[in-house]
Structure 1
């Protein structure tokens, strides 16, 4: 039995006990019953809201891990379902996709309507209708996998930034980030810098969306990754070795993967196994052989080859 169901049963028992202890008239008892029933209904609603928020947090953590491993968000056509096929034991894997507490699916949008630099993830809430910011939807608006794009007020609610230039500094007063806003949306060129002053990331925006070439740096003004976007839709990812040679590339069409990632050695030849991937084998007494594939030290598959 789920914890919330146990909690409800306890509340119902306490409510019944309280009512039973009353020796007033039936009219008073009826009023007490209605009062306690209303409280129980409020508790049920709160539990459902908490459950929805917890699920969104869980899926968001998995999406964050998926992006760290793959360098892009789950594609728009697959959404949360792509997390079901992640390697067992990885932080980006989920075992099942639940419906929200009101029986509706959680909705994933990439790029988001509110989180234009990232993704939206939300429940339609008790009324089962899309309400945006004005209704009872439960959402991740204002959150981001990149910390400088989190736009929330002191109460944790989504809030569009004011127009103009917004600068943030490190504790040593060195520039942390600088972005431009127009009509509450990111525009033009934005930068994020290390405490040393070296470039960390350089962005291009249009109407709030990533647009153009986004560059990420390794600390010494050396580009380690480039991403190309068209109004928030990913087109290409290229990664580079510290020495400048191409490390990997992958193409996308409107955010949908158009090819598998190709990994390269520093001499420019293709690494057929892929970055961080290795193979091993187990030889059995009957002469059969099981081939095991590892990625970054974790087993991702095994199959009999003989």
Structure 2
């Protein structure tokens, strides 16, 4: 008889044990999701910084050839119509100017407000607003 009782006690997990395991799994899933989301935002910031560095190189090459900064980022891809640029040696970028990692255009201004003797080039970051910190921080070529 005692053998039969022991056998019944080992048939499965109790509801409490299952709830504890489920709670632990939910905590782990939440932690992993938060870490992945942070890494995704970090990667977007890194891509925006790399894009800006690449544009800076192309803009500097444009200036070397034409003795002036381009009127827009699109001028890196196609010679501006109506401008007399006998030394234009582009395209200075291989593909069309991409959007920033959040789907908005990079902002370019020559002469710059912050770099008055050259140009400002930046992305407004995740929030699309000037300023911000952390994931919402702007990616700038003057900091």
Shared fold per TM-score greater than 0.5: yes
- Report 1:1-306 matches (<5 A): 25-75=21-71, 79-85=72-78, 90=90, 92-131=92-131, 136-141=137-142, 158=143
Could you say which structure has the larger radius of gyration?
2
Q: TM-score, normalised by structure 1?
A: 0.35
Q: Which runs of 5+ in 1 are unaligned?
A: 1-23, 142-157, 159-306
Q: Structure 2 regions of 5+ residues with no counterpart?
A: 1-19, 80-86
CA distance in 2, matches of 1:56, 1:80: 11
Structure 1 runs (4+) deviating above 4 angstroms are: 132-135
SS of residue in 2 equivalent to 1:97: coil
Deviation for aligned residue 1:111: 1.2
Question: What is the aligned-residue RMSD (CA, Å)?
Answer: 2.6
Output the TM-score relative to the length of structure 2. 0.73
**Aligned in 2, Cα 1:109/1:31: closer, same or farther, shift over 3 Å?**
same
| CA distance in structure 2 between the partners assigned to 1:133 and 1:69 by the alignment | 37
Could you say which structure has the greater relative contact order, defined with CA pairs below 8 angstroms and 6 or more residues apart? 2
